[in-house]
């Protein structure tokens, strides 16, 4: 193909290159969604080429604009753009390589094992993918967290003449995203917070996987977002580059609220069979249709994975040139900033490197032995405040339960993150657990040490976001209180039973259920040093004893997931009692009673199964010796999973039903969580 002369021709050629790369990749994989990339190619091209401040030569540049493809099924749209823009690959530690993030070979390996072009974008696999999307609405929620982080970073680190952080966040959403509740929660929060650095581009293509969108969705999206407090504008044709430019310019001029750009498009635009185009949304076009589409684009019908002359240069001279200029100017400004504000600059460098500052663990509480003790939510609140005072970029909040979760940051200067006052460390997420989870992931992706909090039972509302946090290997912190039937009168609607087993089943998630106040401190210390995955803390409402560490096992054992807290004389137990959380105190009481009766028992506290599973065989044997087959586990949760530790001869005391509404003492008696129940079980497994 000869190089076109006009700029408009060059734009169209570039757009059609994105489209045909997507078509060819989906066709070769015999799997995927060609329609959305075909319809959205002009929208994304216009943004990247003319508005996105992004340096393909360094996709980790801290002040880059963020581009989020919430409509993750359109992944080839992003992969083709990353390829044509020449985005470089970065290593896990941020080193920029000469190789492309998405090579042509990777485009040809779309949806194949081990490729950097999986079916939905994954941020830990592919450089240039800002967040892992696919479950609809999640990317939209992440973008709100990124925008929160951007506002917070600007408020805390920018100085007059030094706008170190002023990046924008763009998210492309479809009908499916806007139908999902998580996006509604996130949009409501963003409107309330007046996040003027946030722009959602809504692909209004009137199509869902089942068929026409009006089969299930006919609300006035523009009116809805006006109600959320957003600025709303419309582009009547996705192929109108001038109208798209006006839409993006409207966003850039809006300084008091987020912006929604509604773009009317056609799935599979350019297909001669547009009336049936929703069928192309979720499956390859087929060889015959591919040729018809290419003919319609003025494309060689038999050419595959073609990038015509001039297209690479077009991107290089557009987003590449602009991004390099923005990045260069920023680097010069940051170098001067380092001279004038060395302490703040050192904080920024430390934060961006994913490290903890010197002295991050100083002045952490050390709780004295106390038979009455305190709830682990209380010790958590004290620990969280001490850590956040030491880590300036530790930011987070609760879903309207900060006082119950004890997650209010109350040290001097902590402050609140409010509309038009973005410096504070306490984010008020409101009753939006799902949106909170997605937003906290976005904050973590922007390098804040972000945390969320709610009741453990409402982790059900957060689980999709938490699962993606684990998949992305990000160090988000999810804090939960009211962790069992021990919360009492609120009853089974609020009493988590199966949630703990569910999170223990999740790959790459550390789940801590600490057994006393000092185990809480150790759990936080381990969680904050764990940088390649999220951590979940599961905490009590009710008080529990603080153990005397001069008498019992060292709390440092938490780092190994499970450890011997109290032992039989000579370290040779007849029976092993094991538990997590509030039930550790219960088995300690049973241990003392058994010891008084001459029965040699060992108490094993198991705050984090995942860490225990990572220990070597010798350590596991030292805690749970194979020869000691008389074992009892106790946990006010589902019994699922405990059989691996108690073995075929052991006994599991746990929940096999939902809880009930009653005072805690009555619940413990009804469900068998009293000292006598544990002692009886120990004797039973010993055959006594």
Q: Which domains does the chain have, with CATH numbers?
A: 7-327 (3.40.50.970), 370-544 (3.40.50.970), 560-686 (3.40.50.920)
The separation between CA 17 and the C-alpha centre of its own chain, rounded to angstroms, equals: 33
* pLDDT band of 424, cuts 50, 70, 90: very high
The H-or-E segment that residue 194 falls in is none
- Give the Cβ contact number of residue 46 at 10 Å: 24
Residues ≥6 apart with Cβ < 8 Å to 684: 651
CA 581 – CA 418 distance, rounded (Å): 35
Q: What was the pLDDT predicted at 209?
A: 79
Write the pLDDT tens digit of every residue in 441-457.
Answer: 999 999 999 999 999 99
Rounded mean pLDDT, 192-200: 98
Taking alpha carbons only, the member of 481, 684, 496 closest to residue 590 is 684
For the chain, the first-to-last Cα distance in angstroms comes to 88
* pLDDT band of 278, cuts 50, 70, 90: very low
* pLDDT band of 274, cuts 50, 70, 90: very low
* pLDDT band of 217, cuts 50, 70, 90: confident
CA 246 – CA 465 distance, rounded (Å): 34
Token pair in block for residue 323: 């991004």
Taking alpha carbons only, the member of 390, 409, 391, 383 closest to residue 351 is 391
| Torsion sign (Cα): 147, 149, 152, 153 | negative
How many CA atoms does the CB half-sphere of 147 hold within 13 Å?
Answer: 31
Helix axes 583-596, 675-686, angle to 10 degrees: 60
* pLDDT band of 688, cuts 50, 70, 90: confident
Q: What one-character DSSP code corresponds to residue 431?
A: S
CA 671 – CA 654 distance, rounded (Å): 8
Q: What was the pLDDT predicted at 5?
A: 57
Tell whether the model's pLDDT for residue 663 goes beyond 60: yes
CA 49 – CA 287 distance, rounded (Å): 31
Report in angstroms the alpha-carbon separations of 437 from 134, 163, 453: 16, 29, 9
Tell whether the model's pLDDT for residue 275 goes beyond 50: no
Tell whether the model's pLDDT for residue 279 goes beyond 60: no
Please answer whether residues 549 and 521 qualify as being in contact, where contact means their C-beta atoms are separated by less than 8 angstroms: no
Taking alpha carbons only, the member of 513, 480, 631, 498 closest to residue 582 is 513
Residues ≥6 apart with Cβ < 8 Å to 374: 367, 517, 543, 544, 546
Residues ≥6 apart with Cβ < 8 Å to 440: 145, 396, 450, 451, 452, 465, 469, 476, 478
Please answer whether residues 646 and 652 qualify as being in contact, where contact means their C-beta atoms are separated by less than 8 angstroms: yes
* pLDDT band of 280, cuts 50, 70, 90: very low
Rounded mean pLDDT, 119-144: 97
**Pairing mode, strands 510-512 and 535-538:** parallel
Taking alpha carbons only, the member of 602, 593, 598 closest to residue 552 is 602
Write the pLDDT tens digit of every residue in 136-188.
Answer: 999 999 999 999 999 999 999 999 999 999 999 999 999 999 999 999 999 99
* pLDDT band of 268, cuts 50, 70, 90: low
Write the pLDDT tens digit of every residue in 10-64.
Answer: 999 999 999 999 999 999 999 999 999 999 999 999 999 999 999 999 999 999 9
CA 423 – CA 317 distance, rounded (Å): 37
Rounded mean pLDDT, 292-309: 95
Write the pLDDT tens digit of every residue in 539-597.
Answer: 999 999 999 999 999 999 999 999 999 999 999 999 999 999 999 999 999 999 999 99
Please answer whether residues 396 and 148 qualify as being in contact, where contact means their C-beta atoms are separated by less than 8 angstroms: no
Residues serving a catalytic function are 433
Q: What one-character DSSP code corresponds to residue 5?
A: S
Rounded mean pLDDT, 97-105: 98
Tell whether pTM > 0.85. Answer: yes
Rounded mean pLDDT, 234-245: 96
């Amino acid at each position: 193909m000869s190089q076109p002369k006009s700029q408009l021709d060059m734009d169209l050629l570039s757009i059609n290159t994105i489209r045909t790369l997507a078509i060819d990749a989906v066709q070769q994989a015999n799997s995927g969604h060609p329609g959305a990339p075909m319809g959205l190619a002009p929208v994304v091209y216009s943004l990247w080429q003319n508005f996105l401040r992004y340096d393909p030569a360094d996709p980790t540049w801290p002040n880059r604009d963020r581009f989020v493809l919430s409509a993750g099924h359109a992944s080839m749209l992003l992969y083709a753009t990353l390829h044509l823009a020449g985005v470089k690959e970065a290593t896990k530690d941020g080193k920029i390589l000469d190789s492309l993030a998405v090579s042509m070979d990777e485009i040809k390996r779309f949806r194949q094992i081990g490729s950097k072009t999986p079916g939905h974008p994954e941020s830990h696999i592919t450089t240039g993918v800002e967040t892992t999307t696919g479950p609809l609405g999640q990317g939209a929620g992440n973008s709100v967290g990124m925008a929160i982080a951007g506002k917070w970073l600007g408020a805390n680190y920018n100085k007059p003449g030094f706008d170190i952080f002023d990046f924008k966040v763009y998210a492309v959403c479809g009908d499916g995203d806007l139908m999902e509740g998580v996006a509604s929660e996130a949009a409501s929060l963003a409107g309330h917070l007046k996040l003027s650095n946030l722009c959602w581009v809504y692909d209004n293509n009137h199509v869902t996987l089942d068929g026409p969108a009006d089969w299930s969705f006919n609300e006035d999206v523009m009116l809805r977002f006006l109600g959320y407090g957003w600025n709303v504008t419309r582009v009547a044709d996705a192929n109108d580059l001038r109208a798209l430019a006006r839409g993006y310019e409207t966003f850039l001029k809006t300084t008091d609220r987020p912006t929604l750009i509604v773009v009317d498009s056609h799935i599979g635009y350019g297909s001669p069979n547009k009336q049936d185009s929703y069928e192309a949304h979720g499956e390859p076009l087929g060889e015959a249709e591919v040729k018809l589409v290419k003919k319609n684009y003025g494309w060689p019908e038999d050419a595959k994975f073609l990038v015509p002359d001039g297209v690479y240069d077009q991107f290089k001279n557009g987003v590449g040139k602009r991004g390099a200029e923005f990045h260069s100017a920023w680097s010069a400004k940051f170098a001067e900033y380092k001279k004038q504000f060395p302490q703040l600059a050192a904080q920024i460098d430390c934060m961006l490197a994913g490290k903890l500052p010197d002295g991050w663990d100083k002045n952490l509480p050390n709780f004295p032995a106390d038979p009455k003790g305190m709830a682990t939510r209380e010790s958590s609140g004290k620990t969280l405040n001490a850590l956040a005072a030491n880590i300036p970029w530790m930011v987070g909040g609760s879903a309207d339960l900060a006082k119950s979760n004890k997650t209010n940051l109350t040290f001097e200067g902590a402050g609140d993150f409010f509309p038009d006052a973005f410096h504070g460390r306490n984010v008020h997420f409101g009753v939006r657990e799902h949106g909170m989870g997605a937003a906290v992931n976005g904050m973590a992706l922007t390098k804040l040490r972000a945390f969320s909090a709610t009741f453990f039972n409402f982790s059900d509302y957060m689980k999709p976001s938490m699962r993606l946090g684990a998949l992305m290997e990000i160090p988000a912190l999810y804090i939960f209180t009211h962790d069992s039937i021990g919360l009492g009168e609120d009853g089974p609607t609020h009493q988590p039973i199966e949630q703990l087993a569910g999170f223990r089943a999740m790959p790459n998630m550390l789940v801590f259920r600490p057994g006393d106040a000092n185990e809480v401190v150790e759990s936080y210390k381990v969680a904050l040093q764990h940088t390649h995955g999220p951590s979940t803390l599961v905490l009590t409402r009710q008080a529990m004893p603080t153990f005397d560490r001069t008498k019992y096992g060292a709390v440092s054992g938490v780092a190994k997931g499970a450890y011997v807290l109290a032992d039989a004389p000579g370290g040779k137990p007849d029976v092993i009692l094991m538990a997590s959380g509030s039930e550790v105190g219960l088995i300690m009481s049973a241990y003392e009673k058994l010891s008084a009766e001459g029965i040699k028992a060992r108490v094993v506290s198991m705050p984090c199964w995942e860490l225990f599973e990572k220990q070597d065989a010798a350590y596991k044997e030292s805690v749970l010796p194979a020869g000691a087959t008389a074992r009892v586990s106790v946990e006010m949760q589902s019994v699922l999973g405990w059989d691996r530790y108690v073995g075929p001869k052991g006994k599991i005391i746990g929940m096999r039903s939902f809880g009930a509404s009653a005072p805690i003492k009555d619940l413990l008696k009804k469900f068998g969580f009293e000292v006598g129940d544990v002692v009886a079980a120990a004797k039973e497994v010993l055959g006594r």
